[in-house]
Structure 1
């Protein structure tokens, strides 16, 4: 009996010890051994935060290997495995994230330092830098430029690469619109971006085609704190085009469930330019009252998100809709017309011609957390519906206006289905592997009395694997491979009206057939295999080096393969080439960073080589289409792109801050004839930005009061592509005064800023209107008021 009792006790002791609960405690400090208050610690499905002296404690931790994550804003996240055998006391010294700029967001890539060359900003930075669109608001970042299309629309350019060479993602899903067009903007609400990361260099391994120039990753998926309700009301006015706008957002979480809502409304008039006339196609067109007629517009955006979060599972459903309508300057749409620009006495009406865009998106993101692994799955649907309206006009005497919507010139309706699966496994403190698969299906339909882009469908599948190896506390290595396959099916389109017109004017049937066959029936498959390696090395506590080397690719778009018609938005006859191959390239990117106390510096040189870069090349043949001009043929050539960026930040006397950003970019085609090695189009000139700010001492209700002045200088851009104009250099200046105003329980952040303070006439080489000799906007005074309410915090 005693033996049986002893055996039972042994078994109970074994069971109890096997399920013993342990306590983990410790301290979290920075590199100077100063405590970090509010650092987030997560282990074994439990989480807590450090107290004001950096101490934390978590009880009831089962024995065994457990994944430990320590995160704190502005510092590199610690993600490691911990063997728990008994009560433990541990300490971590967190290193600053040297990639962070101004107000930062958490980088969850691991330790000791990410291998990516990236810039990260949060919502406050975007709102304070707001310049009418998201792309324009990011222009202060090194290597980032914007191609403007009027006052409220722009598209991003990274190191001279844009259009379908830049991937823009929202909550991990690639934004899909009509990126190929110079007159097509980015349909994303800038006020809804909670944080943004701009990744420069090799981006194709994780994001695939369209990421060969970089990635702009937008996130608005942060989880509110438990039992919290918060929000923000924002109002904005601008003088240059009499903008009136507001944006209101709220977020709420009880325990596991949370929701967010945000609405933005902007209304603006014709914008001012510091000139009285422009020159377009050798015609001098007046600009009455220095306002560019019919550039008014309005934007209405909505975003809603509902989510569920627990220790092991998180899911969100996000629904957004962005609606934008704005006019085109009538003196620059088609044939120059002085009569069309006569002042109508109303600078807020939107007349013909104009564009109207609606982008609807729904995204479902899911994340499962396991002991040493994480699984992410997402599905999404997008619909981008873009229309260009212009008073019916025909270049062919036999063409009649459509019975329905006779003034609808172009209509593109693009629907995209996307599904992604990503699995990350932590083998040990040193090794981590991520694998992923992605599938995307697109369908584009067309309408309107003009033709530019054919109807098409596209299906793409990609699979990738990335392995991270933390060799030591100072060295992190990264390697990745990816395979992609895509099929594009393009419908043929024969323009009988054009055929009859050409034959009626004496053209042969062969010539008439060539021009009237606006697109061929094309069904093509593409594939590509790519690889990359990267390194992040912490040379000292202050110096950090990152470097990446990898191959890049991009599949040809439908318009590059099959366009055949006059593109009024680009002012030329464009012709595709069905024999185009996928773009291939090799990218080398490196960044040397230094940070100590109040001084930060970064130097980023890079080199890209493309074996078959796709570009529009003047053919030397003139189109026989009425007002068609010269034919521009999509062609391929070797190309080289190189340059560097320098950024410096310094604080003096705890109250004065200074920032300088310099950029230089050199690129060219590489052909058998060196005399034809032209630069690539839309190449930003060498330029620099500087800003000096002074922070005042608190004065009664006014705190965090900062007065700043800034300036931007660009050199003359005389290295131009074949169809571009030389752009003179310029210098413009601005400033801002911002402050937090607290009256009792009321808090508001107010910012008054001025851009182009001296109303300087200058040209942006990347502007959509540059070819028309239309200068950039004149002096703009902007007032931004933000009123937060509730308790704003996130897990």
Structure 2
């Protein structure tokens, strides 16, 4: 009896224990705002993880009674974080919202969920397809704080808050784009029509990207998974009248159970572009512009992008391979001594003659993400090979120089190979605290060739470690902190030119001076180290009012061109010389953004300030170089500097159909020296400007036409008389444009279109940051452009 009593007590105790620790399950579906099921969304608690299926369904089992934090996330959508109390099996249906919001179908802004202290802008693929002008940076100029440094009709590079060249980093899938960023005549080797999402970080939000990110980072995200199984994609066509551009792009996606594939092809060809003038003045020399077309500015581009991705329950992996090929001509009057004979028409406005540039950028990126219970690990690997060449009929400034036996017309050749490896571990300790730590390593080798010399041969490497932490104090208050340490080394090869030495000796120069000039680049082996910190806060004063503020230090490692350049830079008609004693740029940055957003009205004001203890820039020395046809000697130097400004953006929609937009930018900067009369502004500073646009929606919904909008816009640029030494004052200007955009639906075929006219009145004006500005070459004339996109298959 005692044994039976004991067994009964054990049985009832076990049943009570099981009842108290009952295991339950949570199931449901995940859809987007249109009701489309989302496959591959991450659903997890602190212990259990799963992915949603093709129909959007998910199932979490073996959950004990009590409270559980459930998080649902999917790239491109707002993360849902909710607390549930389980006392039985439960069903939940989650609707995810896109992580960007559209303002008038033009600007896609940061009023999204992924709340952050950083000042940033977001645009999606639809915006890029609509606004694409032939180059990425030029297509982003409607965004606050963004300007483009143009090099002809198909090439440009970005300027953020007056900072460009090596002060703005461009990254694709986490890997920084590495080319010859230092050159004003070098564009971005990227296919703007293959970009899926793009994010612009300003100021201290770029701490994870290190050197070259003082102004900010343009983050290109080509990691989007096709949302439905099967084949999908779109075709985009582009036509421009200003240079008779013909271009098209094909994007294909295929998704299976665990794998997905993408293929993107873009081709573009254009002729000499039109100018609203028949005469230009270069070095006080008048040159005709025959038929108002700038000779030899034609070009072509051919891009390829392939990607394969794996979606596992705990592991995601993505392999991307791309190649961008560009070839474009230089205006012959921009190279060497002005000559009327060189700019006479050759009878073909689409051929590419001497001089021209040819660039090929090959890139492989591998993204890996491994999920754990409350954390994940990201591993990024990258390889890039950038080949940039400038071709020109062999010419010599020295009587004793002979043409090379191989490729005698290859003037400059740069081959830059870059290897990247990164790892970042992110741990979520609670709803309030999330920490990321990472390490990065990069190795580069730059090889040179050609009958001219500008940039030395070098190798460099960089090792860095960083940590960031986010503290969500409450639903309204978010803090962020970060720190980073970089250790960089650069080894520049000595380059000695015996031909130049012989020429200078024969010209009567002393042996000492001839030797100094003939050593075009000394042997340099330098190490740099830098530690930087940042802090930010985001406070939601009310549901409509938000304040973001950030402050921190910044740095930039001097480039090989700044340390070791010593030669004539064509198009600038000057001798540029580096300084091996330059130190890394260091400084402080602070910005604040106050924003208001209602259903039909929003505005934001974003003041900022940068202080540099040793800003690097190219400064005229007041001396003329002894090199023939070289002009004045310019030397890279350093100075204290202050850069400040404010960005203002206002948008208002009236009665759901009339959209108005205003974006204004004011910049002020200067060198800070002991002599206040020598406190010149910094070079390549965009003029203060204002962009205005208004659009009226004709049809919100119609069987044939949808969201058709007619719009007018204007860009007003002030006179730029705050100029650096060696720059010219640029007059102000007013440009006007117009367009119509929307969608056409005919049976089962949809086409998105944007027909626009820029420089409507064929105004003659100058862009202060243009490569051709110092040649007194105005910007392009009137342009009529049509962008047409036709999606097909399952929508991605």
- Give the TM-score band, short-chain normalised: over 0.9
* Unaligned ranges ≥5, structure 1: none
TM superposition score normalised by structure 2: 0.94
Question: Which of 487, 490, 495 is the equivalent residue of 1:488?
Answer: 490
Aligned counterpart, 1:714: 717
Q: Conserved in 2, the CA contact under 8 Å of 1:520 and 1:562?
A: yes
Aligned counterpart, 1:730: 733
Q: Which range is displaced more, 177-186 or 734-743?
A: 734-743
1:742 to partner: Cα distance: 1.2
Question: Which of 762, 768, 773 is the equivalent residue of 1:765?
Answer: 768
The 5 A counterparts of 1:278-677 are: 278-677=280-679
- Change in Cα spacing, 1:219 to 1:81, as seen in structure 2 (3 Å) is farther
Q: Conserved in 2, the CA contact under 8 Å of 1:75 and 1:106?
A: no
Q: Conserved in 2, the CA contact under 8 Å of 1:604 and 1:645?
A: yes
Please tell me whether residue 123 in structure 1 is matched to residue 160 in structure 2.
no
1:287 to partner: Cα distance: 0.3
Question: Which of 190, 210, 218 is the equivalent residue of 1:216?
Answer: 218
Aligned counterpart, 1:775: 778
Q: Which range is displaced more, 219-228 or 639-648?
A: 219-228
Measured against aligned partners, the alpha-carbon deviations of 1:467-521 in whole angstroms (never above 9, x if no partner) come to: 1000001000001111000000000000000001111111111000110000010
Q: Secondary structure at the match of 1:215?
A: strand
Q: Secondary structure at the match of 1:559?
A: helix
Aligned counterpart, 1:679: 681
- Change in Cα spacing, 1:730 to 1:72, as seen in structure 2 (3 Å) is farther
1:229 to partner: Cα distance: 1.8
How far, CA to CA, are the matches of 1:497 and 1:576 in structure 2?
21
The 5 A counterparts of 1:169-318 are: 169-318=171-320
Q: Secondary structure at the match of 2:677?
A: helix
How far, CA to CA, are the matches of 2:98 and 2:595 in structure 1?
12
- Change in Cα spacing, 1:753 to 1:315, as seen in structure 2 (3 Å) is same
How far, CA to CA, are the matches of 1:203 and 1:669 in structure 2?
25
Q: Which range is displaced more, 363-372 or 408-417?
A: 363-372
Aligned counterpart, 1:62: 63
- Change in Cα spacing, 1:27 to 1:223, as seen in structure 2 (3 Å) is closer
The 5 A counterparts of 1:89-128 are: 113-128=115-130
Please tell me whether residue 703 in structure 1 is matched to residue 706 in structure 2.
yes
Q: Conserved in 1, the CA contact under 8 Å of 2:100 and 2:111?
A: no
How far, CA to CA, are the matches of 1:351 and 1:127 in structure 2?
30
Q: Secondary structure at the match of 1:202?
A: helix
* Unaligned ranges ≥5, structure 2: none
How far, CA to CA, are the matches of 2:424 and 2:328 in structure 1?
39
Measured against aligned partners, the alpha-carbon deviations of 1:180-233 in whole angstroms (never above 9, x if no partner) come to: 000000000000110111111114421111111101000111011242321001
How far, CA to CA, are the matches of 1:762 and 1:595 in structure 2?
36
1:268 to partner: Cα distance: 0.2
Q: Conserved in 1, the CA contact under 8 Å of 2:366 and 2:382?
A: yes
Q: Which range is displaced more, 468-477 or 749-758?
A: 749-758
Measured against aligned partners, the alpha-carbon deviations of 1:288-326 in whole angstroms (never above 9, x if no partner) come to: 000000000000000000010123211000000000000
How far, CA to CA, are the matches of 2:436 and 2:520 in structure 1?
44
1:115 to partner: Cα distance: 0.3
Q: Conserved in 2, the CA contact under 8 Å of 1:603 and 1:646?
A: yes
Measured against aligned partners, the alpha-carbon deviations of 1:536-559 in whole angstroms (never above 9, x if no partner) come to: 111100001111000000011111
How far, CA to CA, are the matches of 2:82 and 2:103 in structure 1?
26
TM superposition score normalised by structure 1: 0.94
Q: Secondary structure at the match of 1:515?
A: helix
Q: Conserved in 1, the CA contact under 8 Å of 2:705 and 2:742?
A: yes
- Change in Cα spacing, 1:359 to 1:19, as seen in structure 2 (3 Å) is farther
How far, CA to CA, are the matches of 2:679 and 2:93 in structure 1?
58
1:739 to partner: Cα distance: 2.6
Q: Conserved in 2, the CA contact under 8 Å of 1:78 and 1:110?
A: no
Q: Conserved in 2, the CA contact under 8 Å of 1:160 and 1:665?
A: yes
Q: Conserved in 1, the CA contact under 8 Å of 2:30 and 2:96?
A: no
Aligned counterpart, 2:758: 755
Aligned counterpart, 2:156: 154
- Change in Cα spacing, 1:440 to 1:94, as seen in structure 2 (3 Å) is same
Q: Secondary structure at the match of 1:127?
A: helix
Q: Conserved in 2, the CA contact under 8 Å of 1:77 and 1:106?
A: no
1:94 to partner: Cα distance: 9.4
User: What is the aligned-residue RMSD (CA, Å)?
Assistant: 2.8
How far, CA to CA, are the matches of 1:23 and 1:729 in structure 2?
63
Measured against aligned partners, the alpha-carbon deviations of 1:696-747 in whole angstroms (never above 9, x if no partner) come to: 1244422221111111110100000001111110011111112311111111
1:42 to partner: Cα distance: 2.6
Aligned counterpart, 1:46: 50
- Change in Cα spacing, 1:15 to 1:385, as seen in structure 2 (3 Å) is farther
Q: Secondary structure at the match of 1:499?
A: helix
1:86 to partner: Cα distance: 5.3
How far, CA to CA, are the matches of 1:377 and 1:87 in structure 2?
37
- Change in Cα spacing, 1:744 to 1:97, as seen in structure 2 (3 Å) is closer
1:11 to partner: Cα distance: 6.1
1:77 to partner: Cα distance: 3.5
Aligned counterpart, 1:786: 789
Q: Conserved in 2, the CA contact under 8 Å of 1:687 and 1:712?
A: yes
